[in-house]
Structure 1
Amino acid sequence: MFDYTVKTSKSLEEAISSLEENLKSEGFGVLWNFDLTAKLQEKGQDFHTPFTVLEVCNQKGAQRVLSQNLLVGYFLPCKMVVYQDESETKIGMPRPTAMINMLHNEELQTLAEDIETRLIRCIDQSVQVL
């Protein structure tokens, strides 16, 4: 499967905040928090679905994979999305393993599996209501 997406009962803002906190605890920084809805509306497009893209990066992980194959740069930084789908808030991402698989490199695949596991943990922790 290409993506990992889950539902949460949290609001869009709560889900984003929770995700950012959980990413930080796993060593990921949010490089960019992009409100796609606002940007499309600013450009005159009739789009009203709340949709935010977070570009996230673990510097050590990025350095490791880029040192092995510069083509990995096409997949960086990792993208995560938080959006409203009808009345549900969803958090998701493309799976790093699905993208790295295109390079047919077992060592890179192992590194991608570690990153993916950590990002999924961040998402899963973010959907929980405490």
Structure 2
Amino acid sequence: MFDYTVETSKNISEAIYSLEENLKEEKFGVLWMFDIKDKLQEKGLEFESDYKVLEVCNPHEAQRVLKENLLVGYFLPCKMIVYTDQGKTKIGMPRPTALINLANNEEIKKLAQDIEVRLISCINKSI
């Protein structure tokens, strides 16, 4: 699977708050949060599900992977999604290892695996 997604009993605001707090423990910060539902509705398009895209980054990790290969910057920052689906709140992300395999570099794959484990831990603590 290219993604890691879990369901939580929290509402979307609680899930985002919890995720942000857990990301801080791993030295990841939210650079930007994009509200897709609001943007689509602003453009006159119907979209009922709350759908927030968080772009997260740990500057030290970004530096580590960029030193290995500048093209890895195409995958940065990491995206995390918090959304509702049929009344249930979900938290997920594309797996860094799934994307980084395209770079075909063993050292970067190791770094991506470490980052993925830490981000999954943040998601799991946010449930």
The residue number in structure 2 matching 1:122 is 122
The residue number in structure 2 matching 1:13 is 13
Q: How big is the shift at 1:68?
A: 1.0
Aligned AA (2:120): I
Give, in whole Å, the separation in 1 of the partners of 2:98 and 2:81.
17
* Runs ≥4 residues deviating over 2 A: none
Q: Secondary structure at the match of 1:92?
A: strand
The residue number in structure 1 matching 2:42 is 42
Give, in whole Å, the separation in 1 of the partners of 2:74 and 2:114.
19
Give, in whole Å, the separation in 2 of the partners of 1:31 and 1:8.
23
The residue number in structure 1 matching 2:82 is 82
Aligned AA (2:57): C
Q: How big is the shift at 1:34?
A: 1.2
Give, in whole Å, the separation in 2 of the partners of 1:42 and 1:98.
33
Aligned AA (2:49): T
Give, in whole Å, the separation in 2 of the partners of 1:94 and 1:38.
22
Give, in whole Å, the separation in 1 of the partners of 2:25 and 2:53.
19
Q: How big is the shift at 1:17?
A: 0.5
After superposition, the C-alpha distances for 1:74-118 in whole angstroms (9 at most, x for unaligned) are: 100000000001011000000000000011111000000010000
* C-alpha RMSD of the superposition: 0.6
Matched, 1:58 2:53: no
Please report the TM-score for the alignment, with normalisation by the length of structure 2.
0.98
Consecutive unaligned residues in structure 1, runs of 5 or more: none
Q: Secondary structure at the match of 1:31?
A: strand
Give, in whole Å, the separation in 2 of the partners of 1:117 and 1:87.
28
